[in-house]
């Protein structure tokens, strides 16, 4: 797991915690709901958090494929191989 994936996961969890707290405040102060609605709200927030995190983990990271330093190294290696032949 890369550092930016960990930062994304922590940021997503913090964002979803804020969304959950705001939802709880709205349901507790302004909207009259059944007690089971609080449980469904928490389950919904957890499911959305997991879905976004899994989607992000499956998304292909293109930055490692287009690294200029890596490309330069590959060119040098190819040049050396051609010179030896």
Q: Which two tokens stand for residue 52?
A: 């976004």
Task: Give yes or no for a contact between 42 and 20, defined as CB atoms under 8 angstroms apart.
Answer: yes
Q: Which residues are CB-neighbours of 16 under 8 A, at least 6 positions away? A: 45, 48, 49
Read off the tokens for 35: 């007690």
* 33-57 as b/e: b if 16+ CB within 10 A: eeeeeeeebeeebeeebeeebeeee
pTM of the model: 0.65
Domain that holds residue 39: 3-84
pLDDT at residue 64 is higher than 60: no
Q: How confident is the model at residue 85 (pLDDT cuts 50, 70, 90)?
A: low
Q: Write out pLDDT tens, residues 33-55.
A: 888 988 999 999 999 999 999 98
Please state, for a pLDDT cut of 70, what percent of the chain lies above it: 89
């Amino acid at each position: 797991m890369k550092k930016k994936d960990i930062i994304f996961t922590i940021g997503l969890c913090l964002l979803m915690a804020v969304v959950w707290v705001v939802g709880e405040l709205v349901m507790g102060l302004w909207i009259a709901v059944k007690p089971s609605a609080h449980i469904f709200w928490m389950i919904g927030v957890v499911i959305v958090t997991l879905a976004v995190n899994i989607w992000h983990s499956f998304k292909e990271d293109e930055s490692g494929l287009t690294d200029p330093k890596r490309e330069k190294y590959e060119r040098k290696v190819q040049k050396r191989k051609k010179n030896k032949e």
